[in-house]
Structure formats: C-alpha cells, structure tokens
Amino acid sequence: MKSTVDKAPCFHCGDSCKSGEIWLDDHVFCCEGCKTVYQILQKNALCQYYALDDKAGLKMDKPLSPGKYAFLDNPELSAPLFQFKKESSARVQFFIPEMHCASCIWLLERLYKLLPGVMESRVNFDRKEVAIQFNPEEVTIRQLVEKLAALGYEPSLNASREEKKDSKALLYRLGVAGFCAGNIMLFSFPEYLGMDPQSKEAFGPVFQWLNVSLSLPVIFFAAQPFFVQAWKGLKYKNLNIDFPLALGISALFIRSVFEVVFHWGPGFFDSLSALVFFLLIGRWLQDRAYESLSFDRDFRSYFPLAVEVFSEETVSSECRYVAIGELKVNQCIRVRNQELIPADSLLLAGKACIDYSFVNGESEVEEITQGNMIHAGGRQVGGAIELRVARPVSESYLSALWNQQAKMAGEERVKTFSDWVGRYFTIALVLIAMATLFYWLPIDPYKAFHAFTAVLIVACPCVLVVAAPFAFGNAMRWLAKKGIYLKNPDIVEKVARIDEVVFDKTGTLTEGSAQIDVKFCELDDEEMARVGELFSQSSHPISRLMARYFKATKQRSSIVVKEFAGRGFEANWQGINWRIGSKKWLLGVSMDDGQSGVCIERNGSLVAEYAINWQFRSDLDQLFYGWELPRSLYSGDHASSRVVMEKWFDKESIHFECSPEMKLNALKSKREQGHFPMMVGDGLNDAGALKEAWVGVAITENVHAFTPACDVIMVGKSIHELPKFLRFCKNTLRTVKFSFIFSLVYNLVWMTFAVRGELQPIVAALLMPISSITVFSINTLGIRYFARKEQIQ
Amino acid sequence: MKIILLLIGCSLVLAIGFLIAFIWSVKSGQIDDTTTPAYRILDDDANIDLSTNRPVDDSTSH
C-alpha cells in the first residue's frame, strides 16, 4: 500500500503524483499531459510561467480527442467566432473558463511566442476572455484553438455566447449626472447660506439659470432610463419601480423651472441632480456585480457548435461537420465519448451509455439498445455511437422543458414587500396630491399648484422606492464576496421569508469526487494498469471512478467484458479470469457500515478490496450546527448513505430514490401548504425543483460552468455559510422595514404642512435631502453592521 | 464682485474639460478592464532559471 502524502507535487499542475512519476529536467510530472505542456513552454523559453504563481498549471490528464475541433476548418462554422476577418489579419475573442491566475495572463499574452502568425493577444481577466489578433494565412483558427487546448486553456466555443451588455452608456450618464450635480450644488450654496439683497439681485438669477441649464442634461440624458422604464411599465399596465421615480423627478423639475421663471425661489435642482446621480450609482454597482456571472445563458450554450454528419449510403471515411442549428431530421450523426447528444435521435450503431445527469437526474448511466430513442442533452460515455436525428433540435424534450420553465418565470412575478409598498404608497401619494390640488383650485390657483408640487416633493416616494433596491443591492455585494451570488436584489427579500430548507445529496452535500480507501491490494503495477483498463470498459459510475483512480487512459475495445448490471463485471483477458464488483456479489457479505466498495478477484481468489466513500463536504457539521429551520433531504441515489445522513437529518425527513418529478412535487405540496421552502440542489439536475421552490439555490464548484433555473448560485465550498446567509437576509429586510417606517412617519408629518399649502419652498428643499440621507444611512449602516456581525467581509 | 462671474465661467470650462476627459477615457476603453493591467505590470520578459528561480539572460538560455 502506498500513501500519497510523501509523493512530490507535479511541477506543472501541483497535484501529488499518485500513480507513477515522470521525470524530466529534474522536475516531476504526474502525467504525460503535464509534461507535454512543460516541454512546449521550455522549448519556447516561457518557463517564467511557473515562477509567477505557485499553482499555475492546469491538470492535463484528459487527452484531447484529435478530431474535436476539425469542424473549425469549415469556414461557415468558424465564421461566427470571428470579430473581423480580412486576408492577412483576423480577430477572435475566446472565453476561457480555466483562466485563474497571473501566470495564465502572462502565458496567454505571449501566445505569439508559441504560435507564429499570432500578432497580439490581450486578456480581460474579469471576464476570462482573451482577444487574439492573428494572420489567418499563417495560422488557422483550428490550430489556434488546438494550441490553447493543448496548454490547458480550452476555450468554450458556443454559438449563443451572449453579447455582454454595453455598460458604457450608463457610465456616460453617470459622468454627466455627477458633473451637473456637483456644479449645481456649488451654485445652490449661496442661496442656502443667504446673500445680502444687493448681491442677491445681481447673482441670484445668474445662479438659478445656470442651474436650469445644468439640469437639462440630467433630465433629458442621465435620467432617461427611468422615464423609458416607467413608460414601458405603464404600457403593460404595471406600476413598476421606475414609475414613482419618474413621477418624482418630473415633479421636482417642473416645479423648479416654474420657481425660477416666476421668481418664486431657487428651485430644487440640487436635490434633483443628486438624486439622479445616486440612482445611477446604484444601477452601476448592480451591473458590476453581474459582470462575472451570466445567468441567462440558455441551454444551447452547453451544446457543441457543430456535430459530425455522415451519409448512410456511401461508406466513405469522409465526414463533414454541420452547425447544430442546421441539423435536419434523418441526418446521421456521430457522437464521441463525453459529447452531448444535440437532438432527440435513434441509435443506429455502437454501444450507447447515456449519462442524463445534465437533463434530469443523478449519476446513473442509462444503457440504450439499438433502434431506441436517445434524448437531447444526454452525454455519451464510452465509444463513438452513430445516431439518426429524429426531431429537430428546437423540438427536443430539453428545449420544451426549457421553454416551459422560461414561460413560467415570465408569468410568475412574485409581489415582494417593496413592490407592495412602492405601489400603494405611490397610489396614495398621487391621490393625496390630486385631492390637495382640487381642494385649493377654486380657492387659490397659485396655492393649489404650490401645495400640489410640495406634496409630491416632500413625500417623494423616490427615496422610499430606492431604499429597498439600494439596501438589497448592497447586501448582494456583501454576499458575492462570500461566494453567494444572487440573481437579483429582490431575492434577498424572498430569502428572508424562507421557513424550510430542502437539500439534495449528490453534488450538494457531497463533493463531486469520492475518496477511495485501499483495504488491501496484492496487485503489482502492471496488473493495476490492466485492471484500470478493465474498469474503463464499464460504464457504471463506480467503474468510472475507479478507472480515474487507476489513471486508465487507453481504451482497448478488444477486451470482452461481461457486465452484471449494478453488481459488477467479469472478463477473461490474457489468460487471467477477472471478476470485479461489489463485495456482496463476489463474496455474499456486505461491506461494513453500508459503505459502497469494490472487490477484485483474480482467478477465483480475492486480491484487492477498496472502500469508496462519497466524500461529504467537510463543513457539513458547521452547516447544521445550531440550525433552526426545519430541513429535509431528497436524494435520487440509493439509500446506502442513510446511516450517515441520519446524523444530520431526522429519520422522517430523509427521502431516497426520488426522481426529479418527486422532488418537484414535494416542493409543490410544501408551497401549497403555505410554506416558503428553499431548495438547495445542483444546477440542472434539480432544475424543476429549484424552479418550484420559493428560492432555488444551486450549488456549483465552478461559477462559470453553470446553469439556469435558480435564484442563487452558491460556490460549493461556502455551503456552510448558508445559515449566515439566511440570517443576513432576514436582518437586511428588517433594516429596510425600519427605514420605511421612519421615512413614512417623517413624510406624514411634513405632508400635513404641505397639504395646507404652508410649506415654504426653501424648507421643502432642505427636508428632502435630510430624509434621503437618513434613509440611505440607516440602510447602509444597518447592513454593514449585520454583515460585520455575520463576518461577511 | 463681477469677477465672480468670470471665475464661475473658468470653473465651468475646467469642469467640462474633465467631463470630456472622462467621456474620452470611457470611449477609448480605459476602464473596460480594471483588473488585468494590475497583473500585467508584474510581468517582465526575463526568462527564469528554474533551478535558482532567478531571471537569466535570454541569449544564454537558448
């Protein structure tokens, strides 16, 4: 038995070299792939790569299949990837999910040293993108992609990679609003501080007209998005959050202009422009928080760009690649190991073992016999298979499922607290203002206008409406630092109402990998390699795990393996009779503690035994310590880990062997009983349940390789922060409610003066900023306090 | 006191200048990416001798 502790780390990727070390130039490598990358870098004098960051290299144990990028030779298919293309110069931009450190930037920006024909490459680290300018006469896009993949930086080529929203327009607005607000503030000071009558006469009008002209760009350029959104909302008979803003801004502006024109007073230009400026800052912060995440990628972005198509009649080795979108019914396609099935199709030839974990469930692999249907979204495990397309890509089960979900999301807009307050407050305010106007109109038209605008200004709903999104947006930023990403600020409020949490097991409470313990092993190195190859013949998840453990890379189809579903397999290879499988199947006794394990029999005698522990996350005790809400577990796996789970869950709340529908229905019935359940699961596997839950939390190891139907994305290693997350959201909502009440009382008091037409403009102008500042400070400081308390820093 | 009007004019011109500078910087992409340059500045093109982890002269290494 060898322990892995004293093994040297691989010079390239930093992993310990578990099986066999490869030495070169006094450095040790864990696999051929890592060594190859080192050689490429060494040859090109780029070894500084290793000096910049300790864990620079990316593990290269999965060999690249040679034909994977052949489709890029087809100009039609590669065309969408180009930003521009001329004869001697072309530019492409790739998204590289693996980019992670300074070394990555360094190497990617020195591509020109590795690949002649590359002129320049620039990295955008936040977006994990690299823009490459190259000469297509010297180097093809296929060579470029293959070189990147060979270095470990495989770009993700997706036709539907969405365009990043252009945030520049917002920055321009922000700049203009800031400039105007600052200057208007300057010209308003003399009015506040008081001027002697002589200079007031001389400068007053100058300052006021300067303010009027400076406020024009604020209204017509900077504040434009609010008006546009409010108008859109009105068109669909929906009083959205921008409506009170637009109302408040216009009331302020119109009243101010009247004041200046009729020499009533200085107007409220400073409040107006500062308000717009702060609103825009809020939006900008929100956009920044989204930048590194993309929630709205659709499922097509997981599909390959193109698929290999061959003709059934002519048995030629020649094949061509066709873009997924152009795939037609009855075309024959070839899908290789680890590739996704792009459309519902019938199996023609080959051994299909389809892993549907992407579409519906857990790690079981489904074997499909010839002539049967394979649904889109399945992933082939094993050799290449040949399929005939039965339905167009757009009509597949997966597309239908997706569209249904998207539709539901559109209709079901839950009314949140701030929506509710925003709406009723706005309606009440408009009613009061109108009543004031009509009361005074017959008595004193001048006073009527005065009182009407004063009501709108003093009780400006703006701050009330902005306070909640501002506070939630703030909370969202705090949470993002902890690896918890919210879809939008409203989610904070939804989370605050959670009264029950439902967990999924695989990928949520367990890590992606399992730990394999050697109980005993009498195999020598050569035999271990053979056993590894045998494991790679089988499609069972445990076999795949073991194959990875034995580092089997080659797949020899010459070995005949007889599989016994769910138990093990037999093979007679090179004169040795192997039987590999569960202890129960081989020896008739089960493993201790209901663990799963693998035994190996050579010519009838037991030679090795391995115990497999699905690795539970190490922080589960921390997660459930002091947990208050009811919790339950719904897992699609077998009940083998029931004993372990009972440590954390009540017996009645553990449910094993649940299909995705069962999970979905469980959540549905909880919702129908009036609960607000939170589902914690992993991305697409539990898509239905995540959607059905009041709040769906997707646990993921890699934020970028991620998925759709959830409200919150949580990085796997921060799962123990879940209770903090719940508490923090509750406290955030409390803070917001407190500031609402404060502002409501404040507004009511001053409104009584405004309604009577007794509020002097100058007083109103002072009251408004005081109220805004107070509400914003309550929220900012309150949330900061709670964040500190929960140690979210 | 009329001099104040001149001063205000000057300050406005100056402020507009800064506004234009800001807009230009956004337009020319200077704030598109605020992270990568911070890493880039650490790079220099010296080749590193792996046994000592010190830069070596490029001409001697290959």
CATH number of the CATH domain containing A500: 3.40.50.1000
Residue B15's pLDDT band, with cuts at 50, 70 and 90, is very high
Number of separate domains in chain A: 5
The 10s digit of each residue's pLDDT in A339-352 is 777 778 888 877 78
Query: What pLDDT is recorded for position B25?
Result: 92
In chain B, residues 9-38 whose CB comes closer than 8 Å to chain A:
11-12, 15-16, 18-19, 22-23, 26-27, 31-36
> For residue A346, is it within any domain?
yes
CB contacts < 8 A, A to B, total 76
- Angstrom distance (rounded) from CA B33 to CA A110: 19
Residue A5's pLDDT band, with cuts at 50, 70 and 90, is very low
A112/B contact by beta carbon, under 8 A = no
Does B26 sit within 8 Å of A168, measured CB to CB?
A: yes
Does B40 sit within 8 Å of A109, measured CB to CB?
A: yes
Are A491 and A622 members of one domain? yes
The 10s digit of each residue's pLDDT in A76-91 is 777 777 877 887 888 8
Does B40 sit within 8 Å of A45, measured CB to CB?
A: no
Does A52 sit within 8 Å of B4, measured CB to CB?
A: no
Neighbour-count burial of A689, counting CB atoms closer than 10 A to its CB (0-12 exposed, 13-18 middle, 19+ buried): buried
> Looking at chain A, which residue has its C-alpha nearest residue B21?
A175
Does B16 sit within 8 Å of A179, measured CB to CB?
A: yes
Whole-prediction pTM: 0.58
Does A125 sit within 8 Å of B33, measured CB to CB?
A: yes
pLDDT of residue A291 exceeding 70: no
> Looking at chain B, which residue has its C-alpha nearest residue A38?
B50
Secondary structure letter of residue A753 according to DSSP: H
Number of separate domains in chain B: 1
Query: What pLDDT is recorded for position A298?
Result: 42
CA within 13 Å, CB half, A299: 27
Question: Where are the alpha helices (H) located in A140-196, listed in sequence order?
Answer: 141-150, 168-193
Are A174 and A275 members of one domain? yes
pLDDT of residue A358 exceeding 60: no
pLDDT of residue A320 exceeding 80: no
Q: Which of B25, B40, B49, B53 is the best substitution to test chain A (most A C-beta atoms within 10 A)?
A: B40
Question: B47 to chain A: which residues are within 8 Å by CB?
Answer: 45-48
- Angstrom distance (rounded) from CA A657 to CA A511: 19
> For residue A414, is it within any domain?
no
Query: What pLDDT is recorded for position A343?
Result: 79
The 10s digit of each residue's pLDDT in A221-255 is 999 988 998 888 788 766 666 776 787 788 889 88
Q: Token pair for residue A109? A: 């920006």
Using DSSP's 3-state secondary structure scheme, residue A625 falls into coil
> For residue A426, is it within any domain?
no
Query: What pLDDT is recorded for position B49?
Result: 52
Does B33 sit within 8 Å of A109, measured CB to CB?
A: no
Mean pLDDT value across residues A192-200:
77
Q: Token pair for residue A216? A: 């024009």
CA distance A29 to chain B (A): 15
pLDDT of residue A445 exceeding 80: no
Tell me the torsion sign for CA atoms A340, A343, A346, A348: negative
> For residue A782, is it within any domain?
no
Using DSSP's 3-state secondary structure scheme, residue A449 falls into helix
> For residue A593, is it within any domain?
yes
Q: Which of A41, A165, A183, A189 is the best substitution to test chain B (most B C-beta atoms within 10 A)?
A: A183
Does A45 sit within 8 Å of B50, measured CB to CB?
A: no
The 10s digit of each residue's pLDDT in A635-666 is 766 666 777 778 788 888 888 777 767 787 88
A24/B contact by beta carbon, under 8 A = no
Does B51 sit within 8 Å of A105, measured CB to CB?
A: no
CA distance B40 to chain A (A): 7
Domain end point (choices A564, A594, A616): A616
- Answer yes or no: are the C-beta atoms of A497 and A677 closer than 8 Å: no
Are A559 and A501 members of one domain? no
Among the ranges given (A167-176, A420-429, A596-605, B47-56), the one the predictor scored with the smallest mean pLDDT? B47-56
Query: What pLDDT is recorded for position A62?
Result: 58
Does A47 sit within 8 Å of B50, measured CB to CB?
A: yes
Mean pLDDT value across residues A462-481:
72
Does B1 sit within 8 Å of A199, measured CB to CB?
A: yes
> For residue A654, is it within any domain?
yes
> For residue A206, is it within any domain?
yes
Domain end point (choices A616, A651, A680): A616
> For residue B27, is it within any domain?
yes
Question: B23 to chain A: which residues are within 8 Å by CB?
Answer: 172, 175
- Domain of A558, CATH number, reads 3.40.1110.10
> Looking at chain A, which residue has its C-alpha nearest residue B17?
A179
Are A591 and A625 members of one domain? no
Instruction: Give strand pairing partners of A512.
Output: none
Query: What pLDDT is recorded for position A743?
Result: 81
> Looking at chain B, which residue has its C-alpha nearest residue A122?
B36
Share of chain A above pLDDT 70, in %: 73
pLDDT of residue A473 exceeding 60: yes
Mean pLDDT value across residues B1-9:
85
The 10s digit of each residue's pLDDT in A14-65 is 766 655 667 777 777 777 777 777 877 777 777 777 776 666 676 665 566 6
- Angstrom distance (rounded) from CA A30 to CA A24: 11
Query: What pLDDT is recorded for position A551?
Result: 66
> For residue B8, is it within any domain?
yes
Q: Which residues of A465-492 are buried (b: 16+ CB within 10 A; e: fewer)?
A: bbbbbbbbbbbbbbbbebbbbbbbbbbb
Are A560 and A695 members of one domain? no
Are A316 and A366 members of one domain? yes
Does B47 sit within 8 Å of A199, measured CB to CB?
A: no
Does A27 sit within 8 Å of B50, measured CB to CB?
A: yes
Does the ipTM surpass 0.90? Answer: no
The pair phi, psi for residue A361, each rounded to 5°, is -150, -150
Does B43 sit within 8 Å of A179, measured CB to CB?
A: no
The pair phi, psi for residue A210, each rounded to 5°, is -60, -45
Domain that holds residue B30: 3-57
Question: B40 to chain A: which residues are within 8 Å by CB?
Answer: 105, 109
Domain that holds residue A699: 484-510+618-727
Most confident residue range from A262-276, A279-293, A378-392, A692-706: A262-276
The 10s digit of each residue's pLDDT in A123-145 is 887 777 888 888 888 888 888 88
Are A498 and A626 members of one domain? yes
Does A168 sit within 8 Å of B19, measured CB to CB?
A: no
Question: A176 to chain B: which residues are within 8 Å by CB?
Answer: 19
- Angstrom distance (rounded) from CA A37 to CA A385: 31
Residue reference for tokens 């590795």? A114
> For residue B62, is it within any domain?
no
Question: B8 to chain A: which residues are within 8 Å by CB?
Answer: 187, 206, 210
> Looking at chain B, which residue has its C-alpha nearest residue A182?
B15
Residue A486's pLDDT band, with cuts at 50, 70 and 90, is confident
> For residue A490, is it within any domain?
yes
Instruction: Give strand pairing partners of A28.
Output: A23
